[in-house]
Amino acid sequence: MSKTIKAAVIGHPISHSKSPLIHNYWIGKYGLDGSYEAIDIAPENLKAEVQNLIDQDYAGFNATIPHKEAMISLCENSAHNAQVIGAVNTVVIKDGKLNGMNTDGFGFINNIWDTCPDFDFQGKNAVVLGAGGAARAIVSALIGEEIGHIYLLNRTREKAEMIRNEMGFLSDLIKVRDWGDRNTVLGKADILINTTSLGMAGQAALDIDLSVLPKTALVNDIIYAPLYTDLLQQAKACGNPVIAGIGMLIHQARPAFKEWFGIMPDVTDELKELVLK
């Protein structure tokens, strides 16, 4: 008799998470005997509750705010990119041991390729706005794709400098600029990525002037609510190709699903619509 494969997302709070919807869509689509649920775990209970998941024979789980950084030290093994990023968002449990990965960079790159399959990052210039957790994953992924240079701008400049310094011998690839220079630096961009929370529903819009941005530059906002932020609407009006953040959210879930359930799932328009409802 085959046994149900169990997975989950842990966070605090967790009710807002779209992950159960995404994984249960795929479980249904591929006719698998599996389950995926959202589990609220307070930070002080993290270690004990994770041990419960191991004891209950879970295949693994996603970790979201506020557990992504703490999971690094709880994992026996962490993939190199998770160590560089300093955060684990996916855990695979094997032989009672926790193996950590970070799939945000995979989600980011594959979302770009979904829309622009021919875009080659090698030798290009990226302008990245923001230096939070998502920016860290994206910078690391861009470097993995042999980007030329990354112009990194953040309201709190020190956080951008910290990311640059953590890249060790690759730190020369990252050029930190002042947040106030965001309009002029765009002249250098082959791709512009907003990783700040500006433009998200309930937040102020990103205040930016795209006049000097080359018309061929891709513009990606990793925010997915709303689907098309002010930045993307402005870029579209300028004639630039635009890429919304919803695909990143779904693509980052794919390697986790593959690890637990054995199938690399597809990103379909039906799933995107479901997630946006």
Contact flags string 183-222 toward ligand NAP, x per CB under 6 A: ------------xxxx-x---------------------x
* Cis amide leading into 117 (omega within 30): no
Is residue 152 within 8 A of residue 160, CB to CB? The reply is yes
- Establish if 130 lies at the interface with ligand NAP (CB under 6 A): yes
Q: Which is nearer to ligand NAP, 6 or 182 (CB)?
A: 182
Spatial distance between the Cα atoms of 110 and 165, rounded to a whole number of angstroms: 26
Q: Please, how many CA atoms are within 13 Å of residue 41, restricted to the half-sphere of its CB? A: 28
Minimum separation from the CB atom of position 201 to ligand NAP (A): 9
- Tell me the window of 19-27, 49-57, 182-190, 248-256 that interacts with ligand NAP (CB under 6 A): 248-256
> What is the rounded distance in angstroms from the CA atom of residue 143 to the CA atom of residue 253?
21
Name which position in 7, 134, 191, 235 contacts ligand NAP (CB under 6 A): 134
Other beta carbons within 10 Å of 180: 10
Question: Taking the complex as a whole, how short is the minimal distance between the CB of residue 129 and ligand NAP, in angstroms?
Answer: 8
Among 252, 256, 215, CA closest to 236: 215
Cα 188 from chain centre:
24
Q: Is 90 in the site for ligand NAP (CB under 6 A)?
A: no
Q: 43-72 mask for ligand NAP (x: CB under 6 A)?
A: ------------------------------
Question: According to the binding rule CB under 6 A, does residue 159 interact with ligand NAP?
Answer: yes
How far apart are alpha carbons 68 and 70 in whole angstroms?
Answer: 6
* Residue 104 CB, nearest approach to ligand NAP (Å): 6
Is 68 known to be catalytic? yes
Write the secondary structure of 18-82 as one string of H (helix), E (strand) and C (coil).
CHHHHHHHHHHHCCCCEEEEEEECCHHHHHHHHHHHHHCCCCEEEECCCCCCHHHHHCCEECHHH
What residues between 226 and 245 interact with ligand NAP by CB under 6 A?
A: 245
Indicate whether 271 belongs to the interface with ligand NAP (CB under 6 A). Answer: no
Catalytically annotated residues: 68
Q: Where do contacts with ligand NAP occur on this chain (CB under 6 A)?
A: 104, 107, 130-135, 154-156, 159, 195-198, 200, 222-224, 245, 248-249, 252
